Amino acid sequence: MPFHEAVRLALATIRTQKLKSFFTVLGVMIGVMFLVAVISVVEGMGRYMEEDFAGKLLGVNTFTVRRSPDINVGNVTEETWREYQRRPRIMPSDVAALRAALPPGTRTAISSETFAYAVTPWARTKQVQAVATDGDYFQIKKYDLQSGRVFSPQEAVLGTPVVVIGTDVAEHFFPNLNPLGREIRIAGIPYTVVGLLEKQGNVFGFSLDRLAIAPYQSPLNRVTNPRGNVDGLIVQGVTEPAMQEALESSREVMRSLRRLGPADPDNFALETSDSALAFFAGLKSKLTIFGAALPAIGLVVGALVIMNIMLVAVAERTREIGVRKSLGARRRDIMLQFLVEAATLSLFGAGLGIVLGLLIAWVTKTVSPLPASVAPWSIGFALVVGAGVGVTAGLYPASRAARLDPIAALRQE
Amino acid sequence: MISETQDAPMSTTAERRVVVSQTGAAPSKDWVIVTRGIQRSYDMGGEVVRALRGVDVAIRRNEYVAIMGPSGSGKSTLMNVIGCLDTPNAGEYWLNGQLVSTMKDDELARVRNKEIGFVFQTFNLLPRASALHNVELPLIYAGVSSDERRRRATEALERVQLGDRVHHKPNELSGGQRQRVAIARALVNRPSILLADEPTGNLDSATSAEIMKVFEALAAEGQTVIMVTHEPDIAQHARRVIVLRDGLIANDGPPDTIVPAYVQGH
């Protein structure tokens, strides 16, 4: 029997027994539904991490020369912490040496930040994320302004107390006021607002709009780094290979500055978005495995239900099998008929599950801060799983049907 | 359909004796069925039942044969063996020049598909399928394309005067119509033999007569027809009657002599 005949037959059987078929595939449907939903949410988080988290917090094709990694997720032993503490700090002299060694076209910016209290005559005291920086900070971070301007090179060199603020800062400290040209006191020192950033949104509930960015030479660096050092130097290559090249030359410069022998480990950190994302990649694979393990239970139950229903179908249709055999159906024809029927049933359940799974992913995305992104492969995967469950569940009933003795089958009432 | 001889010929006893005695040799093309000493026994819970105890049957192409016998005579077993649903424990069975007694399951399925058209007492139509689809079934297993299948199935239904009932389900048809669908299904793949098992067993006498007319017409067209029955009236329609008793052939000849003797025996 050709394959499409078997499919047509299976569809006809499902059509005549709609409700029964629906209950039969309930297990598979639920399993696939959660499978698709979990994969979508995990996948969404992954994309979120890569695009928003890494992109917004760290920048594209960017690395930071730091004393120790800023983003420490996962297990950091006490020993490692102690080693971080023993490392020398990054000093402005290091920054100068690094900048001299980097190829032209590479963007750099000093990054020093801390939370500091700010106040204006119109609002209560509140913390802002104070950043003292220079160079190409705004380009690297892709911070666009909605009004005003960034500070000029002259202001940077002179350390003029001017500040570019985020939308949250503007709303809190300058309610219903245009903040441009007004004064905000950060850690007791007045700064003039010259620019207002576009709204950046948040990453994992952490607002990116609480920034107050001032020139590195301004008094702010005494708040961010009272010891006269810097948190780090952000370096952005034009392209990924340029970034890698810059990374290696920075390593050389730092190692020679620190007079490290060939066998000594780096006593500084070159933090890329990859190194920050490496942890999440591990987390993501674990989430995917655990997320898939639970629906797998549903799929196993679904497979057992389908197997049971198929056994009933074989028993109910023993006579039909006898008739088919007497008309020339071979074992493989009967086998194919029941396998395809089981697979079609299961695929039908998988189809319903996919639709519901997408719905769950969409609802999750809409009502919760959890992002969700539908991975096309997850739909393909769910269909393969659905067909696989059906074929697996159908194997035993189908082989029983195929092995029926035609005479006994015909005799059955 | 092969139809050189219109007057439903009958093989002679002597001819049959010759073809049956040539053990191991393939019979000539004239002989559509030759069995040589076939035996079939079943193990019924430790007790061996010998249903066939050495049956020699030779049936020539275009013959119209009824197989009779009381229940337990082995006629159902013989029908199953002839219909390639069962294989004998011993002896040879040649069907249309092929030795089927040693064939495996799937080869038997192919032979059933190509050589045999079954008509059952209980019709055995698929209840959820239309008359047309029921008739198409053997063609599906023969691998015929769907257009060709539809054409041939419609043709077969028209031959049994059911051209206007192709899309009806079995439960929308009368008993006689159902049996005619079954006959159309049996004939659609142009089999060597039409094998009917008590074809009128579930029908009233008027409908039985109608079905017997169909068989007669087919036999007249040159179709080999083999019919298993226990009803003398039905056997009377055949050109030749084989009587089985206790797993052996008890009588074989034209119905006008065999049937009265059979009726008297009961």
Q: Tokens 């226990």 identify what position?
A: B230
What is residue B15's predicted lDDT score, i.e. its pLDDT? 87
Distance between CA B129 and CA A248 in Å, rounded? Answer: 75
**Which pLDDT tens digit goes with each residue over B67-105?**
999 888 999 899 999 999 999 999 999 999 999 999 999
Alpha carbon of residue B179 to chain centroid: 14
DSSP reduced 3-state for B48: strand
Task: Give the residue from B85, B95, B125, B169 with the most A CB atoms within 10 Å of its CB, the best one to mutate.
Answer: B85
pLDDT over 70 percentage in chain A = 95
By C-alpha distance, the chain A residue nearest B188 is A327
Q: Is the pLDDT of residue A308 over 90?
A: yes
What pLDDT digit, counting tens, does each position of A135-155 carry? 888 888 888 899 999 988 888
**Which residue among A326, A332, A333 places its CB closest to the CB of B118?**
A326
Is A403 in the B-facing interface, judged by CB distances under 8 Å?
no
Three-class DSSP category at A49: helix
pLDDT at B144 over 70: yes
> What is the percent of chain B where pLDDT is above 90?
75
Residue pair B111/B120 in contact (Cβ under 8 Å)? The answer is: no
Q: What is the pLDDT of residue B3?
A: 41
Check residue A54 and give its pLDDT: 67
Task: Using CA coordinates, name the residue in chain A closest to B191.
Answer: A327
pLDDT at A56: 66
Q: CB–CB of A330 and B109 under 8 A?
A: yes
**Residue whose entry in the numeric block shows the structure tokens 């911070």:** A143
The label of the residue with tokens 């022998």 reads: A261
Q: Are strands B116-119 and B193-197 parallel, antiparallel or unpaired?
A: parallel
Q: Give the burial string for B154-173 (b: 16+ CB within 10 Å, else e).
A: bebbebbebeebbebbbeeb
> What is the per-residue pLDDT for B184?
96
- Nearest residue in B to A325, CA atom: B109
Average pLDDT over residues A377-396: 90
Helix (H, G, I), strand (E, B) or coil at B228: strand
Spatial distance between the Cα atoms of A20 and A14, rounded to a whole number of angstroms: 8
Measured between CA atoms, how close is A357 to chain B, in angstroms?
34
For A325, the closest of B80, B109, B140 (CB atoms) is B109
> Which residue of A12, A323, A331 is in closest CB contact with B124?
A323
Range of lowest pLDDT (A77-91, A356-370, B107-121): A356-370
Report the mean per-residue pLDDT for chain A.
87
Q: Nearest CA of chain A to the CA of B106: how many Å? A: 5
CA dist., res. B35 & res. B249, Å (int): 12
Closest-approach residue (CA) in chain A for B124: A323
Q: Please write the tens of the pLDDT for every residue from A211-224.
A: 999 999 999 988 88
What is chain B's Cα-based Rg? 18
Q: What counts of helices (H) and strands (E) characterise chain B? A: 9, 10
Cα dihedral B153, B156, B160, B165, rounded to 10, equals: 20
What is the band of B1 on the pLDDT scale with cuts at 50, 70, 90? very low
Give the tens place of pLDDT for each residue, B149-205: 999 999 999 999 999 999 999 999 999 999 999 999 999 999 999 999 999 988 999
pLDDT band at A160 (very low <50, low <70, confident <90, very high): very high
Which among B53, B59, B4, B65 is positioned nearest to B27, based on CA atoms?
A: B59
Q: In the block, which residue shows the tokens 């198929």?
A: A310
A139 at B interface, C-beta within 8 A: no
β-pair partners for B67: B228, B242
The continuous run of DSSP H or E covering B124 comes out as: none
**Residue holding tokens 């239970």?**
A297
Distance, in Å, from the CA atom of B69 to the CA atom of B82, rounded to the nearest integer, reads: 16
Residue A135, chain B, CB below 8 Å: the answer is no
At B84, the amino acid letter reads: C
Q: Which residues of A touch B120 (CB under 8 A)?
A: 410
> CB-based contact (8 Å) between B94 and chain A?
no
- B174 by Cβ neighbours in 10 Å (0-12 / 13-18 / 19+) ranks as exposed
pLDDT at B44: 85
Whether residue B6 has pLDDT greater than 60 = no
B111 φ, ψ (degrees, to nearest 5): -65, -45
Residue carrying structure tokens 């576009």: A198
Count A/B contacts: CB-CB distance under 8 Å. 61
The candidate with the shortest Cα–Cα distance to B159, out of B123, B127, B188, B193, is: B188
The residue among B247 and A295 whose pLDDT is bigger is B247
Is A8 in the B-facing interface, judged by CB distances under 8 Å?
no
Mean pLDDT of chain B: 90
The pLDDT assigned to A149 comes to 92
pLDDT band at residue A365, thresholds of 50, 70 and 90?
A: confident
Which amino acid, B163? G
> Among the listed ranges A45-59, A323-337, B202-216, B237-251, which one has the minimum average pLDDT value?
A45-59
What is the DSSP secondary structure assignment for residue A134, as one 8-state letter? -
Q: Which residues of A360-385 are buried (b: 16+ CB within 10 A; e: fewer)?
A: bbeebbeeeeebbbbbeebbebbbeb
Of residues A54 and A152, more confidence is placed in A152
Written as six digits, the tokens of A39 are: 């994969």
For residue A320, the chain B residue with the least C-alpha distance is B126
- What pLDDT sits at residue B5? 44
Helices (H), A317-330: 318-326
Interface of A with B in 13-52 (CB under 8 A): 13, 16
A230, A112 contact by CB (below 8 A): yes
Question: Residue B109: which of A16, A329, A410 has the nearest Cβ?
Answer: A329
Range scoring the smallest mean pLDDT among A60-64, A337-341, B173-177, B251-255: A60-64
Please give the single-letter amino acid code of residue A262.
P
A399 touches chain B (CB under 8 A): no
**Nearest-Cα residue of chain A relative to residue B146:** A5
pTM over cut 0.95:
no
**pLDDT tens string B130-142:** 999 999 999 999 9
Query: Contacts of residue A319 in chain B, CB cutoff 8 Å?
Result: 124
Six token digits for residue A224: 């961010």
The values of phi and psi at residue B127, to 5°, are: -65, -30
Report the chain B residue with the minimal C-alpha distance to residue A1: B141
pLDDT of residue A74: 64
pLDDT of residue B24: 85
| Long-range interactions of A270-274: CB distance < 8 A, separation 24+ | A270/A63, A270/A64, A270/A65, A270/A66, A271/A58, A271/A63, A271/A64, A271/A66, A271/A69, A271/A70, A271/A71, A271/A232, A272/A58, A272/A62, A272/A63, A272/A243, A272/A247, A273/A50, A273/A54, A273/A55, A273/A58, A273/A59, A273/A60, A273/A62
What percent of chain A clears pLDDT 90, i.e. is strictly above it?
A: 41
The mean-pLDDT minimum among A13-22, A149-158, A275-284 falls in: A275-284
What are the distances in angstroms from CA A158 to CA A39, A182, A190, A233, B222? 52, 20, 16, 20, 115
- Provide the 8-state DSSP code for A127: E
β-strand B47-60 against B224-228: which pairing, if any? unpaired
Summarize the confidence of residues A3-30 as an average pLDDT.
Answer: 86
B138 interaction partners in chain A (CB closer than 8 Å): 327-328
d(CA A369, CA A43): 14
Residue A189 token pair: 């020192």
For the record, the structure tokens of A131 come out as: 């950043």
Average pLDDT, stretch A388-402?
A: 94
Residue A390 has pLDDT above 50, yes or no: yes
